[in-house]
A and B are shown apart, each in its own frame.
Chain A
């Protein structure tokens, strides 16, 4: 594929993936790039897996990412990181939220949630940034900003100027939430750089 940068976001409905995708694509646009995104809608409130794909570069054709091409895989939930692992390039950065959401298939006894998922993550992702984004978000002011914490960690694996990220956050969130989201973003960046 050409020299476009691809980012794959995955998680569960209600985790704020679509807002994260919007901030990321706005940041790329503000940096002067052509941008395309794709999101699977419809099931976002019904407990299903939600994914978003963002691509940017001088000229982007396909809105879809090829398996093995994502520079960053950002997973809002641990099991979803494994489910989407094949989208990440071998040299890519995996940002994984230390957070699990038990699917109904587990509660009803028809399947089990893997116990050894941390080992799987360590084995599968040579460049792994694995931390509790919800806790960092709470420290920043609200658990709801966990998505922006994860975005902060994602930004470390990309080459967009920090200022465009901050401007994109200001553009995408309601004025009264700007401050807490900027803090959340900084916390995510710090977590990935440590």
Chain B
């Protein structure tokens, strides 16, 4: 039995295992910006704050640069983000690849194939090729820890930044991990060396050459690395598999030989040739792009891949079973949800009961406006019955796109909407543009002083750091005024009539307005909880106006509106909008 081995191991998610690796590898500085599925890495590093400095930075670009600065002092440093975060951090990435690392530098980037909680799906491996740096892809939690450590060592050996790429299924699956002790890596301190650290053109040109030389120097290592291995079995079919796809391949094609690529770029050409020569038929199984497949073909090796494996969405063992059947010319009976499932009511995520954002959307519903939205809990305002968000692009765009619509001459009123964390992340520069270039949208900043969507992480407005220290609270009012906005209001949207009045007045003003909607996230800050509301059946005329605000605590069953007392937080929005005064606080016993 495996009893003894299991006793010595812990069941950790990929993110917990990476946090453990950060601790064990003697990392000194660990920073990032929250983003599903990467968030729990730094949340778990916080446990080791005696040994590892950790912080939530305002955005991924800043975080990347913080980690880069730390690395140049010789400290081991990591930065975490989700895949779209790397777009924000692409600028420092593309030049740190020239400057290189001193202390081990690993950017941990979590992709989200299938878009469980993302606005797009992109394959971070393309960034590794773009930046000409190594990328490592673990297939379970233990590898996530091991590859993080290996990545730091590679980074130091080849003076290169390294990307550790996870996917949702690696980040959020829990598998057994053997824990180890921390090994310290004391930084030497920054050593002045301008030709190495200053990419002015005269020095950037030799750096550019070194980037290519570095790739060549890694070639033998990538073939010999234990992260890449051949598991010989039957010679009929050979499968090259990366990341979690390896696990699905082992499950569905137990008889096939497998080349498991954990260090996919730079490509291990010799290993690929050796593997291809040993099998009759070659198949590449990888999530998202045909990253490896394209290269295999460029080596002149015939293989199957995206002709069978979709490049959209995530893979699963079930999907591979069907693909296997198709490759073998068979039909696998579809296992579909039962017929009755199609009749079930959808259960989409919704704004929580007593979420103050609901009042903002309800109020906006009274006006003919275009709302350029952004990324956070309030993205849920797009759904029925609120239906009050019209665009989403990326973090910060809620503000800049409102400006764009105004300068394009959009006739309707335009409202730009972002959250507090999103404002600090990348909304400030958009607001500066509005002040500078003089357009007049209404900007609503939903300020609950916490990064709620990803699970209540601290941000510059929270007054707390990731390490639990109190700190200054960033003032959105001060930022807005510094951006040249004169009409700045901070109001509680749950004073509903006054909020509607303020909106009306702002729409009639020919200058830009910033409305800070200030009310705590009720799930995070219970101080906002009020007396539970109830419906008086004698006064209720079942007009259903209250149901239009989409509060989960309001139920309509058997012809009556009821308030679920276990869910209601007493925000009173339903009470304020009820035309018949049928809703009131429950009388205290």
Contact = CB atoms under 8 A, between A and B. Distances in A.
Nearest to A85: B338
Given A2-B251, A47-B347, A107 B11 contact: no
Interface string A73-94: 0000001101101100000000
Contacts of A43: 117, 349
Given A67-B335, A86-B337, A38 B169 contact: yes
Contacts of B579: none
Contact of B175 (A36, A102, A124): A36
Given A62-B251, A102-B557, A46 B380 contact: yes
Contacts, number: 173
Interface residues of A, number: 56
Contact of A34 (B176, B385, B454): B176
Interface in A20-61: 25-26, 29-30, 32-43, 45-49, 58, 60-61
A73 to B, nearest CB: 12
Contact of A104 (B36, B250, B318, B550): B550
Contact of A109 (B169, B343, B556): B556
A51 to B, nearest CB: 11
Contacts of B555: 102, 106-107
Contacts of A114: 340, 343-344
B486 interface: no
Interface string B1-45: 111001001010000000000000000000000001100000000
B348 interface: yes
Contacts of A36: 140, 173-175
A173 to B, nearest CB: 16
A108 B550 contact: yes
B254 interface: yes
22 contacts: A29-B6, A34-B176, A38-B174, A42-B453, A46-B377, A46-B380, A47-B349, A47-B552, A61-B247, A62-B247, A63-B244, A64-B316, A66-B318, A79-B344, A82-B338, A83-B341, A85-B340, A103-B346, A106-B556, A107-B547, A108-B547, A114-B343
Interface of A: 1-2, 12-13, 25-26, 29-30, 32-43, 45-49, 58, 60-68, 79-80, 82-83, 85-86, 102-114, 120, 124
B321 interface: yes
A32 B1 contact: yes
Contact of B248 (A26, A61, A79): A61
Contacts of A80: 347
A32 to B, nearest CB: 4
Main secondary structure of the interface of A (DSSP, over half): loop
A29 B254 contact: no
A79 B11 contact: no
Given A29-B11, A63-B247, A46 B6 contact: no
Contact of B348 (A48, A61, A62): A48
Given A36-B173, A109-B556, A66 B345 contact: no
Given A34-B176, A66-B317, A109 B544 contact: yes
